[in-house]
Amino acid sequence: MRLPILATVVSAALISLIAPPATAATDPLKVTFVARQCPEYSDIMANLARNNIQESLRDLGKDSVYTSGQPIDPAIEDPNDPNCSPLVGWRFTWGNGVNGQLDLLSLVSGPAGQVPPTKPSTAWLDDKGLPTGRSVAGAVTVTLDDTQRQLLAGNRLWVQGGYVDDPLLNGVFGKGAYGFGALRCSVDNLNGDNVEQVAFPSGRTHVFCYYYAVTPPPQAGTIVVRKEIVGGGSDEHTVGLHGNVSYNPGGGFQIDATPGDPGDITFNRAETLPGDDPWEFEEDPVPGWTLDSLTCVSADGTSTSDVTGAKASITLAAGDTVTCTYVNRRVFDTGITVYKRTLDGVGGPFPITVERPDSTVTDLGAVETAEEGVPVEAGEVTEAEAGDYVVTETLPPPTAHGYWTAVGMECVDVDARATRGRLIGRSTQPRFHVTLDARPVNCTITNRFHPEGSITIEKLTRDGYTTTEFVIRSLDPKTVIERRKLGPFQEETTTAPGSNPDSATRDHLRPGTYFVSELNTDGTSGDWELISIVCDGRSFPVAGATARIELTADSPDHTCRFTNELDGGTLMVEKLVRDPRGLRTGPVKITVRCDNGQTALLRAAHTGLVRMPEPLRLQGPTRCVVRETADGASGPIKVRTFVRVDGGERRAGRSAEVAVNAGEQVTVRLINTYVTKAKLK
């Protein structure tokens, strides 16, 4: 709890520290692993990113209710997965990264220890690792060892469900007893695979991991969707499809293929049982291409498929692999048809003109793209003669959001002969020169978007200086895939005299949702208190040490400031006045002077116990001298004065020098007894 600086009865003159605080002792870092078994996949709440990285054999249930990088919490898990029950005896394995699959599940690399089996019940700990008085069923709590702490310090601490050589624990529970549902740890609640990164938000020394299994699980089969394109050329082409075989929002997915180099995507899915819907997918129409054929083949003949136009429906048998192949062929108009496709972004407008061999110009108007890699038709030059053509496009002007460049133009004629346009200049109006003989011709202009979005993290520390680690997670689908094995983006700040606040910037970010989290990577952040998170004037709760940011075309750059105060401990000063005969003639005064410059004054004007209204919250580890400067005795009145620190042995004296370290609570009591000189004799 943050304790306020005294400002009333106790006056405190505060100054800033001019040197870094002393190194603090590290706190134990604990993780509670919880396992649950569920009758259906639909009983399990999904992770934040619903995508095809998800490794459950069927899609999961409700969308995640977690927001802004909330740490995993039993108070959220149990009400949102009510049909699931405790799973005792489940195991987990630590690692330093992600490496390969077994039984269709992701595995950690560099195994760094195993977690003991989950127990019938274990204590429910708070974010500081202290008992709450409640318990969690089907759980076990472990303390990170030196190896795991070293991995944590490098943001390389990962965990998986099960063992590396047996992720479903078939050797423990029997083959086919359980199927994977979901795994989420700490603030890593992104992809629905069998590996998660473990991190500790700032101020926390205890986090939860939740694992969900389905019992009894269906058996698995495999569906391979393959794409072939014919018609010449060497550019890669992207085709969109959709269906319930995909876990992406709306069921959409894409396949990239090049003439002579087919592309494919593999789905590991549950067998189709009686009453289940078949697995389905359908190709979206692509301008400039037509579907030549769609065939589906069962490897062992146990699955069945139904093909209607561009749609396939698969009744999948256990252990079988069904491969469905789409073959697409170019289609042509009568002249020169120009298409536009964009990579790493969508939008426009892109005005396009075509200059003919006779120098006349055809204006095709402006075109915009809506899906990365998928072309849209810009227009056609009819009655096109053989000769030299110049195709000119105007790029959208650069903005803070990013800028466009020309990649190239490929033209393929009806005889499957490909010609690349010669790029003349790379200004805002790229021009492509191409000589065409045969017609009709399809020409595709490709542009790439270079995102310029950025997140700047500012770290302000009060009362001291420190190095802090941050992670940035993205919900952008492309970034999610790119960072799957790498983990989130990492940034580091180090405050120091003349560099407070310090800052770090992650740039070239794509539009989308991002989570910025401050971490406790060495077990000492408990000495620092995160007191505010403000992003572009908007405050976020400090409990999860995370801010949620939306990068958009209109707002591509954001700045978040994380402010921390050093918890230097507290000092309470008490005065016990024993004067039953009312001999004292004046007030008692006690001063506090600390090496860090803080001061305080306590006045005791009546008999009995007088204390500061609130402890003095110290700015960093320091030493303080507590001294009685006035005792209120005069004339024949004398006083006996004693000092006691933290309830220890009483000793004679009017002052005490105490060291107060981070997190410590020190109490100094001075005791005065008033007597007459005659009584003293």
**Tell me: the pLDDT tens digits for 239-272?**
999 999 999 999 999 999 999 899 999 999 999 9
Number of other residues whose CB lies within 10 A of the CB of residue 408: 16
The torsion angles phi and psi of 401, rounded to 5 degrees, stand at -70, -30
Contact partners, residue 648, CB within 8 Å, separation at least 6: none
On the 0-12 / 13-18 / 19+ scale of CB atoms within 10 A, 366 is middle
The torsion angles phi and psi of 41, rounded to 5 degrees, stand at -60, -35
Q: If you ran DSSP here, which 8-state letter would residue 151 be given?
A: H
- Contact present, 294 and 226 (Cβ < 8 Å): no
The Cα–Cα gap between 604 and 610 comes to: 6
DSSP 483-521: TTTT-SEEEEEE-BTTB-SEEEEEEEEPSEEEEEEEB--
pLDDT of 7 strictly over 60: no
The Cα–Cα gap between 38 and 140 comes to: 19
- Predicted pLDDT of residue 522: 53
CATH of domain 567-680: 2.60.40
Give the model's confidence band at 675: pLDDT under 50 very low, under 70 low, under 90 confident, else very high: confident
pLDDT of 525 strictly over 60: no
| CA 575 to chain CA centroid, nearest Å | 51
pLDDT of 238 strictly over 80: yes
The Cα–Cα gap between 514 and 455 comes to: 9
Contact partners, residue 99, CB within 8 Å, separation at least 6: 107, 108, 109, 110
- Contact present, 144 and 32 (Cβ < 8 Å): no
- Predicted pLDDT of residue 14: 24
Q: Which of 62-66, 119-123, 476-480 has the highest mean pLDDT?
A: 119-123
Name which of 236, 107, 128, 12 is nearest 525 in CA terms: 128
Lowest mean pLDDT segment, chosen from 38-42, 132-136, 240-244, 461-465? 461-465
> In a 3-state reduction of DSSP, which class is residue 158?
strand
Contact partners, residue 130, CB within 8 Å, separation at least 6: none
Contact partners, residue 499, CB within 8 Å, separation at least 6: none
What class has domain 453-557?
A: mainly beta
Relative to beta strand 350-355, strand 387-393 is: antiparallel
CATH of domain 336-450: 2.60.40
Query: What is the separation, in whole angstroms, between the first and last Cα of the chain?
Result: 50
The Cα–Cα gap between 619 and 464 comes to: 8
Give the model's confidence band at 175: pLDDT under 50 very low, under 70 low, under 90 confident, else very high: very high
Name which of 375, 380, 413 is nearest 231 in CA terms: 413
Q: If you ran DSSP here, which 8-state letter would residue 555 be given?
A: -
- Predicted pLDDT of residue 294: 97
- Predicted pLDDT of residue 224: 98
Return the percentage of the chain with pLDDT > 90, whole number.
64
The Cα–Cα gap between 590 and 604 comes to: 8
Biggest distance spanned by C-alpha atoms of the chain: 128
The Cα–Cα gap between 254 and 252 comes to: 7
- When pLDDT is averaged across residues 647-674 and rounded to a whole number, the result is 90
The Cα–Cα gap between 644 and 365 comes to: 88
Q: If you ran DSSP here, which 8-state letter would residue 20 be given?
A: P
- Predicted pLDDT of residue 23: 37
The torsion angles phi and psi of 677, rounded to 5 degrees, stand at -60, -35
Q: What is the pLDDT of residues 429-470, one digit of tens each?
A: 999 999 988 779 999 999 999 999 999 999 999 877 888 999
Query: What residue type is assigned to position 460 of the chain?
Result: L
The Cα–Cα gap between 407 and 447 comes to: 5
Give the model's confidence band at 118: pLDDT under 50 very low, under 70 low, under 90 confident, else very high: very high
Check if 336-450 and 567-680 are the same fold.
yes
The Cα–Cα gap between 290 and 229 comes to: 10
- When pLDDT is averaged across residues 470-475 and rounded to a whole number, the result is 88
- When pLDDT is averaged across residues 78-90 and rounded to a whole number, the result is 97
Q: Where are the domains of the chain?
A: 30-214, 220-330, 336-450, 453-557, 567-680
605-626 b/e with 16+ CB inside 10 Å = b?
Answer: eebeebbbebbbbbbbbbebeb
The Cα–Cα gap between 121 and 118 comes to: 8
- Contact present, 186 and 552 (Cβ < 8 Å): no
Cα→Cα distances 218→40, 182, 244, 477, Å: 10, 16, 17, 28
- Contact present, 362 and 354 (Cβ < 8 Å): yes
Residue 219's region, left for phi above 0, alpha for psi from -120 to 50, else beta, is: beta
**E strand intervals along 510-654:** 512-518, 528-535, 538-540, 546-551, 557-578, 588-594, 599-604, 608-611, 616-619, 622-630, 637-645, 651-652
pLDDT of 1 strictly over 50: no
The Cα–Cα gap between 140 and 166 comes to: 20
Beta-bridge mates of residue 170:
none
- Predicted pLDDT of residue 19: 29
Number of other residues whose CB lies within 10 A of the CB of residue 648: 10
Give the model's confidence band at 317: pLDDT under 50 very low, under 70 low, under 90 confident, else very high: very high
The Cα–Cα gap between 506 and 559 comes to: 10
**What mean pLDDT is reported for the chain?**
89
pLDDT of 646 strictly over 70: yes
- Predicted pLDDT of residue 26: 61
Beta-bridge mates of residue 38:
214
- Contact present, 3 and 570 (Cβ < 8 Å): yes
Q: What is the pLDDT of residues 585-603, one digit of tens each?
A: 788 999 999 988 889 999 8
Give the model's confidence band at 678: pLDDT under 50 very low, under 70 low, under 90 confident, else very high: low
- Both structure tokens of 373: 């890699």
- Predicted pLDDT of residue 476: 81
The Cα–Cα gap between 509 and 386 comes to: 44
pLDDT of 4 strictly over 50: no
- Predicted pLDDT of residue 656: 94
**Can you give 34-76 as a three-state secondary structure string?**
EEEEECCHHHCCCCCCCCCCCCCCCCCCCCCCCCCCCCCCHHH
- Predicted pLDDT of residue 247: 96
Q: What is the pLDDT of residues 373-393, one digit of tens each?
A: 999 999 999 888 889 999 999
The Cα–Cα gap between 640 and 673 comes to: 5
